[in-house]
Amino acid sequence: MKFTLIIKKKRTFKYILKKGRYVINKNITVHVCNIKKNRVINFFAVCVSKKNGNSVQRNKLKRWGREAYKLEEDKLKKGYNILIIYKKTTTIKNLDFNVIHNEIINSFKELNLYEN
């Protein structure tokens, strides 16, 4: 990811969940919050609960989320914290990468994250 850093601090997660805008889809929820200082890059994270399956399944969901973001990264505006949270009912058996990718694209469109 060229213009993106990973969110690692718990206080950043809490800030995004408290102050940010969000869109709820069938399998994911996307939270977005403006960055106050740095307007050149985005910060990004994917969250998957233990209720989504074993570690192999959770890691696969995270990889799908990161890959879908990576494909859309060049088209997005800079200066945002982006957090993708999978719903607890989401499992690999029900989906594939294309479903997740389309939901992320639709969420980014609703949140007006694409450059004109």
Flag whether pLDDT at 1 surpasses 80.
no
Tell me, yes or no, whether 75 lies in a domain: yes
Model pLDDT for residues 25-69, shown as the tens digit of each residue: 999 999 999 987 777 899 999 999 999 999 999 999 999 999 999
For residues 79-106, average pLDDT: 94
Q: Which domain holds residue 73?
A: 4-110
Tell me, yes or no, whether 115 lies in a domain: no
Tell me, yes or no, whether 27 lies in a domain: yes
Share in percent of the chain as helix, strand, coil (round to 5): 45, 25, 30
Looking at residue 96, its pLDDT comes to 93
Tell me, yes or no, whether 85 lies in a domain: yes
Tell me, yes or no, whether 116 lies in a domain: no
Tell me, yes or no, whether 39 lies in a domain: yes
As for how many domains the chain has, the answer is: 1
Question: Where residue 3 falls among pLDDT bands split at 50, 70, 90?
Answer: confident
Tell me, yes or no, whether 79 lies in a domain: yes
What tokens does 70 get? 């990576």
Looking at residue 14, its pLDDT comes to 95
CATH of the domain at 71: 3.30.230.10
Looking at residue 94, its pLDDT comes to 80
